[in-house]
Amino acid sequence: MSKSTSKTTGLHPDSLLAHAGGGFDQATGAVVPPIQTATTFVRDEDYEPIGPGYIYSRDDNALYKKVEKLIADLEGGEDSRLFASGMAAVAAVARLVKPGGTILAQSGIYWGTTLFLRKYCARNNIALVEVDVSDFKAFHDEFSVTQPNLVWLEVPSNPFLKVADIQRISDLCKSAETLLTVDATAATPLILKPLSLGADLVMHSATKALNGHSDLLGGVVTTGDIDSEAWTFISEERHDAGAVLGSFEAWLLLRGLRTLALRVERMNKNALTLAKHLDAHPKVKAVLYPGLESHAQHQLAKAQMTGGYGSLMSILVNGGKDAALKVTGALDIFQRATSLGGTESLIEHRQTIEGEASGIPGDLLRLSIGIEHVDDLIGDLDQALSTL
Ligand SMILES: *Cc1c(COP(=O)(O)O)cnc(C)c1O
């Protein structure tokens, strides 16, 4: 029998995740990796590193490598790079576009990304075009005119839960040598694999479901082609610009990932049950969730995603902004907080956070569904909606 403890080919994602970072340590037998906190590593008398590859921790780190390999495997990609936050990962990708270039970004996405791209492009003489990519014709027309260097999608989008056709858009991008990046944070690699649909890069805020416990900031970018120019740039950018993850965060992320498959399964199931319940609720005007048949891109979501539709949804309540705020105030189990993908369910009145200029309607509430018992979540929302 082979002594190798890292024989992972052919395993299901659930199994890869359950053993995340594992393969016991030959020296101690430990089933989880240690946290290496050293920032610098000594050399021997001949000035060779004592541990090959161990020089300085901004270069690399044994824990990053474990997490990066795992995420690359989940995505069906060739390699990943961890970043200090999701936004650091977004910024590294955006910097691929040089002054004079053009970025075509999906409109109505994560507000932090939109704001960053607007400021970054304005400061660097890069044209930024924002378009509703769930409307393929609108996207195609805009693409033909602008000939962008980079297309930025978010699937599903936050907070409107729109679903772009990654395969069709990637065909278009390939014909024009445009780089396609998909932020798939709200989906997780377990239910959406943008690289297999033709994207060049996939990005996640690891702060969200990948870690899943609302206790670290992190980001990750994965490539389908380690020999590409884009990947050389991103690897160098992580090293040279230095937006690296801390050792403790890398370790926590690995620990969080061990339960990703279980968490995603429960969260997706809870979300679909809740979406159906709220869709039939008299106080709810609309539910935005790709798992509902009433969703404009439901068929596309069904074809693109496997095993669920994610744990993010938005609802529009009857009675406008005041009613929406009243509902949030009456909730007991849902926590009033930003972010998503954690074990605990969260609710957010996005317009209060982002302002009216963001275009987010006052009656919209964004829900991140956790792993609680679904009857408790339904009960909490029902009693809060009954105050209207
Ligand atoms: C949270 C989030 C980000 C930013 O990630 P941080 O880890 O907060 O920097 C980017 N995209 C999406 C879709 C997000 O939800």
Interval 107-116: pLDDT, tens: 999 999 999 9
Q: Minimal CA–CA distance to 157: which of 116, 114, 115?
A: 114
The per-residue pLDDT for 25 is: 73
Active site residue 58: yes
The per-residue pLDDT for 5 is: 42
Cα angle: 29, vertex 34, 36; to 5 degrees: 140
Query: Tens digit of pLDDT for each residue in 109-144?
Result: 999 999 999 999 999 999 999 999 888 999 999 999
CA nearest ligand 1 atom 4, residue: 86
Which of 22-26, 95-99, 372-376 shows the lowest mean pLDDT across its residues?
A: 22-26
Q: What are the E-state strand segments in the chain?
A: 79-83, 102-106, 127-131, 150-154, 179-183, 201-205, 219-223, 284-288, 312-317, 335-336, 346-348, 364-368
Place of tokens 């990637």: 170
Mean pLDDT computed over every residue of the chain: 95
Which among 208, 263, 266, 350 is annotated as catalytic? 208
Active site residue 183: yes
Domains in the chain with CATH codes: 12-257 (3.40.640.10), 261-385 (3.90.1150.10)
The per-residue pLDDT for 59 is: 87
What's phi and psi for 356, nearest 5 deg?
-70, -25
The per-residue pLDDT for 223 is: 98
CA nearest ligand 1 atom 1, residue: 205
- Which of 90, 205, 217 has most ligand 1 atoms within 8 Å of its beta carbon, as the pocket-test mutant? 205
- Which of 85, 185, 350 has most ligand 1 atoms within 8 Å of its beta carbon, as the pocket-test mutant? 185
The per-residue pLDDT for 8 is: 58
Cα gap 85→245, rounded to integer Å = 8
Q: How far is the CA of 12 from the centre of ligand 1 (A)?
A: 27
pTM value is 0.96
pLDDT grade for 304, boundaries at 50, 70 and 90: very high
Query: Tens digit of pLDDT for each residue in 162-172?
Result: 999 999 999 99
Query: Tens digit of pLDDT for each residue in 196-221?
Result: 999 999 999 999 999 999 999 999 99
- Which of 110, 115, 162, 217 has most ligand 1 atoms within 8 Å of its beta carbon, as the pocket-test mutant? 110
Contact 380, 386 (CB under 8 A): no
pLDDT of residue 232 exceeding 80: yes
CA nearest ligand 1 atom 8, residue: 86
| Angle, in degrees to the nearest 10, between helices 136-146 and 166-175 | 20
pLDDT grade for 45, boundaries at 50, 70 and 90: very high
The per-residue pLDDT for 7 is: 54
CA nearest ligand 1 atom 6, residue: 86
Rounded average pLDDT over 361-376 = 98
Q: How far is the CA of 173 from the centre of ligand 1 (A)?
A: 24
Rounded average pLDDT over 64-88 = 97
The per-residue pLDDT for 22 is: 82
Which among 54, 110, 289, 309 is annotated as catalytic? 110
First to last CA, the chain: 66
Protein residues whose CB sits closer than 6 Å to any atom of ligand 1 = 85-87, 110, 112-113, 154, 158, 183, 185-186, 205, 207-208, 217, 219, 340
Rounded average pLDDT over 376-387 = 98
Q: How far is the CA of 161 from the centre of ligand 1 (A)?
A: 15
Q: How far is the CA of 86 from the centre of ligand 1 (A)?
A: 5
pLDDT grade for 10, boundaries at 50, 70 and 90: confident
